[in-house]
Structure 1
Amino acid sequence: MSKIIFLDFDGVITTLKSNWAIDDKKVELVKEICDITGAKIVISSSWRRYTLEATIEAITKQETVRGHKAFPYPDLIIDITSRMYGFKYGNKEKHYGVCRGVEIDRWLWEHQDVTNYVILDDDSDMLLSQKKHFIKTHALRGISKRDVKRAINILTKT
């Protein structure tokens, strides 16, 4: 039924060259994937807030953090992954961050209608079962045209 892009920001659509602000050229590459495959975006980035509405508001306001341009396609964003934490048994005061792959896996479990997905991220904290869906972008240069071709191939495989 649906195709999803799990989108990280830093190292994908924000780069060293853009001074870690949203780079319009990189966003256009993500939009190209959406246009060709019909995929929608789920934000898995640390830029996400605790709700979809708060996240969209934060990334589309012109005067957001670091003075970046607004994310131009909020209509392509359908959700965010949950921020998840683990607790050590017997010590609820201490919590541990859960790897992004687990957050993505949980989102997919909650959305059984997803037929295919791709993960665009510069970090490798994914699950082994996600390997064929994962595209590791260059941390300093962000998403490339080659990454776009790979994403389209992943999302159009039946």
Structure 2
Amino acid sequence: MDKLIFLDIDGVISTEKSRYALDKDACDLLGKIIDATDAKIVVSSSWRRNTVEDTKEELTTVRDFVPFPFPYADRIIGVTIRAYAYVMQGIHLAIPRGVEIKQWIDTHIHSDNGKNWNEKVVGVDFDYVILDDDSDMLLEQAEHFVKTDTRLGLTEDDAERAIKILNQ
């Protein structure tokens, strides 16, 4: 069974404590989740780039906000679309991140690119967890969502909950 982590970075593994650079303790907790579940990562953060390769480069090139290479770059298999907003005549309509995640699941989870999706079953064919400090997920994603504290990032309790979701 496929196991996926939809990973936001700011407020999850980049924290106030680390001055919004990658936080080693939070990254270690992400590693705990990966070790316990063998999950792959889909980056749903504003840190994502247009391609997986560009995103890996963004996360592994050491600079101020990346004080060490992201240790799980080899686990990144995807990035969600950027459906930020629709602006027309001065009206801003936000697109929830949950929609970006649903689009990725619907078109990438299986090699058939979403064909026969009605035959795919969460918990049978795949499981996923969303790690994010924002709440703009879809109702159908509620049982897969671990909301982190923006200031603290990923905590031990969050990691345990994510492991439980992925290994149910």
| Fold shared by both chains (TM-score > 0.5) | yes
Aligned-residue sequence identity (percent) comes to 49
- Sort the Cα spacing of 1:86 and 1:62 in 2 relative to 1 into closer, same or farther, 3 A: closer
Runs of 5+ consecutive residues of structure 1 not aligned to the other structure: none
- Following superposition, the deviation at residue 110 of structure 1 comes to 0.9
Which amino acid in the other structure matches residue 120 of structure 1? L
Helix, strand or coil: the match of 1:71?
A: coil
The amino acid of 1:99's aligned partner reads P
Distance 1:74 1:68 in 2: 15
- Deviation of 1:96 (Å): 4.2
Partner of 1:75: 74
8 Å contact from structure 1 (residues 21, 69) kept in 2: no
Q: How does 1:138-153 map to 2 (within 5 A)?
A: 138-153=149-164
Establish whether residue 109 from structure 1 lines up as the match of residue 106 from structure 2: yes
Residue type matched to 1:121 in 2?
D
Displacement of 1:72 after TM fit?
1.7
**Over aligned residues, Cα RMSD in angstroms?**
1.9
Q: Work out the CA distance in 2 between the residues paired with 1:27 and 1:122.
A: 15
Q: Which runs of 4+ in 1 moved over 3 A?
A: 85-88, 91-97
Aligned counterparts of 1:87 and 1:8: Cα–Cα separation in 2: 21
Distance 2:44 2:79 in 1: 6
CA distance in 1 between counterparts of 2:77 and 2:38 reads 13
CA deviation vs aligned residue, 1:65-87 (integer Å, no higher than 9, x gap)? 53532212211111111111554
Residues in 2 aligned to 1:67 and 1:53: alpha-carbon distance in whole angstroms: 16
- Report the TM-score, using the length of structure 1 for normalisation: 0.89
- 1:8-43 CA-partner distances (Å, limit 9, x unpaired): 111110111100000111111111111111111110
1:99 is aligned to 2:96: yes
8 Å Cα contact 2:22/2:65 also seen in 1: no
